[in-house]
């Protein structure tokens, strides 16, 4: 997939040529074509960019010569009503000495860029509002090195090592937060980051910060109508910019809402995968038939996953466990049929209130709310098991709670939601996008500038339990309300109260069946990674987490690893923990170890 890397000398001397050459070789490890510019800014800087022959945004993975002696390595695509606006975006960025942060904040779409100016010699790194396309950075005594590919940074680490704090957090919740990565001394830049470099000086700011600022002036119906129109506009921008648009279609609301907003849904192929007869497939197939979208259905072949895990760990920089890398086997399929995918990223959270609970809305103490959010994500037994695996004794939990409370807010729930979008969505959920980027790019219309700016003005109470979501979708796209919603089994057009009643029934039945040791709604299960770990994946997992190298590494306690694996094999549920263990070890093999082991493909 396309990307870029840059180095800026803090001493005035040319950057280390041997390290730079090693980085460039790593950047091209999957056969991408590369352009390179060295000796920039009086010899202080170098940049390189790379791209595939197909499946890339038009301007991505290239070095662009700009007026005034600037060079821009660009990734992503900005959009306006006329379509691709990347050229206009580069015009905003081309002078790193006079960056207008208000203008940058108005740029619409996923992008990251590095700009190097010749005279005066200076450089800047700029990300979009949300870090759709992550950038990793290493600050050395003699240089700053940044790249969209974390593995390409490893030649600049004198002693690559796993971060004990990150490992502890990851084993507890399966996520990473803020700038934390599994590699010591490597940071992920925040959304809206601006890093300015001149001589030996490095300054960091943010051109935008997510802030919920509810506005009561619009009525509920006015807001629902306006959101529908803005989402339609966001989708149409993508259609105008790219020729072959497709969509990954689930049985939920997000993807069907986007498909329903397309100008000609019959020209937009849709793709669904899952277990045979699962609700996701049946609901998606029903909507695709109604709307006229050519629909492809695929079922899992569990054996397809392990040979791709290492590529998945690289693509996501180890930010998710292998247990949820569901996109891996199907990226090639998407690339065969599409130039860009409509990505329903976080629509359910933004409009449906997935990050809202009535008790949270009433909570007035930030620390209490932060602790409640931790328990929402992490079972007590997950904390207990993590204590067996790492010496951190809760360090990850403390980091989570402290991070949420770092910024005060008049109403704690507003701060929590801002934080969850920046972290849970763009550090975890967005990894599916990164897996997909191996073959095809995507746009996330729910994070279109105009749509999001309006959502952030919507009172949280309106979004609770999908009230605003169902209204906006039913009013903007009546066809989307006719197909059953996989979460309730009912068509959304039946209204809020019928669907809430179904959710309540689902909760009660799950509780009753769980007490009897039975599964309540087997067709709601889209995948079964826990069972695959006990079956088709077992040999590969044991070859990773129980290998001599993994057990001797010191990142986790060997007896704890053996105990967690034993308990999972006899029926306890530790899928997320084991998925994290596999990710940690595979990342260590590719980015920490100097003596390389055979890959899982080579071992097979």
Instruction: Tell me the CATH number at 39.
Output: 3.60.20.10
- 185 with 235, same domain: the answer is no
- 106 with 234, same domain: the answer is no
pLDDT for 519: 93
Under 8 Å between Cβ of 239 and 263: yes
Residue after which a domain boundary falls, among 158, 174, 206 = 206
- 160 with 309, same domain: the answer is no
- 411 with 280, same domain: the answer is no
168 is a domain residue: yes
560 is a domain residue: yes
- 596 with 473, same domain: the answer is no
Under 8 Å between Cβ of 150 and 29: no
519 is a domain residue: no
pLDDT in tens, 340-353: 999 999 999 999 99
CA distance 388 to 554: 13
CA distance 339 to 117: 32
- 154 with 286, same domain: the answer is no
pLDDT band for position 394 (cuts 50, 70, 90): confident
pLDDT for 604: 60
Residue 319: which residues within 8 A CB-CB, separation 6 or more? 175, 176, 181, 427, 428, 431
Under 8 Å between Cβ of 8 and 45: yes
Number of domains in the chain: 4
211 is a domain residue: no
- 16 with 46, same domain: the answer is yes
173 is a domain residue: yes
- 113 with 32, same domain: the answer is yes
428 is a domain residue: no
The tokens of 498 are what?
């019928």
- 443 with 308, same domain: the answer is yes
pLDDT for 347: 96
- 150 with 19, same domain: the answer is yes
Residue after which a domain boundary falls, among 179, 206, 233 = 206
CATH number of the domain where residue 508 is located: 3.40.50.620
pLDDT above 70: percentage of residues in the chain: 99
Is residue 442 classed exposed, middle or buried when 0-12, 13-18 and 19+ CB atoms within 10 A define those classes? buried
517 is a domain residue: no
pLDDT for 594: 79
- 293 with 325, same domain: the answer is yes
Residue after which a domain boundary falls, among 156, 180, 206 = 206
Per the document, the length of the chain is: 604
pLDDT in tens, 97-131: 999 999 999 999 999 999 999 999 999 999 999 99
CA distance 345 to 342: 9
Q: Is 246 helix (H, G, I), strand (E, B) or coil?
A: strand
- 199 with 225, same domain: the answer is no
309 is a domain residue: yes
pLDDT at 585 over 90: yes
Which structural domain, as residue segments, surrounds residue 534?
A: 529-603
Mean pLDDT value across residues 271-299: 98
pLDDT in tens, 556-581: 999 999 999 999 999 999 999 999 99
């Amino acid at each position: 997939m396309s990307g870029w890397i840059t180095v800026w000398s803090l001493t005035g001397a040319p950057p280390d040529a041997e390290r730079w050459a090693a980085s460039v070789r790593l950047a091209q490890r999957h056969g991408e074509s590369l352009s390179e510019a060295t000796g920039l800014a009086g010899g202080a800087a170098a940049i390189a960019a790379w791209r595939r022959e197909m499946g890339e945004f038009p301007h991505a993975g290239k070095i662009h010569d700009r007026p005034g002696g600037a060079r821009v390595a660009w990734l992503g695509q900005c959009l306006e009503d006329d379509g691709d606006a990347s050229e206009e975006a580069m015009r905003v960025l081309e002078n790193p000495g006079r960056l207008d942060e208000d203008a940058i904040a108005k740029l619409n779409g996923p992008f990251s860029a590095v700009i190097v100016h010749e005279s005066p010699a200076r450089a800047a790194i700029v990300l979009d509002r949300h870090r759709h396309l992550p950038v990793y950075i290493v600050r050395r005594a003699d240089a700053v090195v940044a790249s969209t590919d974390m593995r390409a940074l490893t030649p600049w680490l004198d002693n690559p090592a796993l971060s004990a704090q990150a490992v502890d957090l990851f084993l507890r919740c399966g996520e990473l937060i803020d700038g934390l990565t599994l590699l010591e001394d490597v940071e992920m830049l925040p959304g809206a980051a601006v890093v300015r470099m001149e001589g030996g000086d490095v300054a960091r700011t943010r051109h935008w910060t997510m802030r919920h600022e509810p506005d009561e002036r619009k009525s509920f119906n006015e807001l629902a109508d306006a959101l529908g129109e803005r989402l339609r506009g966001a989708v149409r921008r993508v259609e105008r910019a790219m020729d072959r648009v497709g969509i990954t279609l689930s049985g939920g609301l997000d993807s069907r809402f986007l498909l329903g907003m397309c100008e000609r849904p019959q020209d937009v192929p849709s793709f669904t995968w899952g277990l045979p007869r699962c609700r996701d497939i049946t609901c998606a197939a029903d909507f695709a038939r109604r709307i006229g979208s050519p629909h492809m259905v695929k079922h899992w072949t569990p054996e397809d996953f392990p040979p791709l895990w290492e590529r998945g760990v690289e693509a996501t920089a180890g930010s998710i466990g292998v247990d949820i890398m569901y996109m891996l086997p199907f990226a090639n399929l998407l690339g065969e049929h599409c130039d860009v995918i409509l990505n329903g990223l976080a629509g359910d959270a933004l409009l449906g209130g997935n990050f809202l609970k009535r008790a949270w809305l009433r909570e007035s103490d930030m620390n209490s709310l932060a602790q409640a959010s931790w328990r929402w994500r992490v079972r007590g037994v997950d904390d207990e098991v993590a204590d067996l695996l790492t010496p951190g004794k809760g360090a990850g939990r403390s980091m989570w709670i402290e991070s949420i409370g770092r910024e005060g807010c008049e109403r704690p729930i507003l701060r929590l939601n801002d934080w969850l979008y920046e972290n849970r969505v763009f550090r975890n959920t967005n990894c599916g996008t990164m897996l997909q980027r191996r073959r095809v790019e995507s746009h996330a219309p729910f994070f279109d500038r105009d749509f999001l700016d309006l959502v952030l003005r919507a009172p949280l109470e309106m979004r609770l339990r999908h009230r605003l979501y169902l209204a906006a979708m039913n009013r903007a796209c009546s066809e989307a309300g006719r197909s059953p919603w996989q979460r309730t089994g009912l068509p959304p057009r039946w209204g809020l109260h019928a669907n809430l009643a179904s959710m309540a029934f689902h909760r009660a039945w799950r509780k009753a069946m769980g007490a009897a040791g039975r599964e309540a709604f087997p067709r709601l299960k889209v995948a079964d990674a826990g069972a695959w770990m006990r079956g088709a994946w077992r040999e590969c997992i044991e070859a990773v987490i129980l290998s001599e190298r993994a057990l001797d590494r010191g990142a986790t306690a060997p007896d704890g690893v053996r105990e967690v694996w034993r308990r999972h094999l006899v029926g306890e549920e530790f899928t997320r923990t084991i998925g994290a263990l596999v990710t940690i070890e595979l990342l260590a093999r590719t980015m920490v170890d100097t003596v390389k082991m055979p890959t899982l493909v080579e071992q097979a």
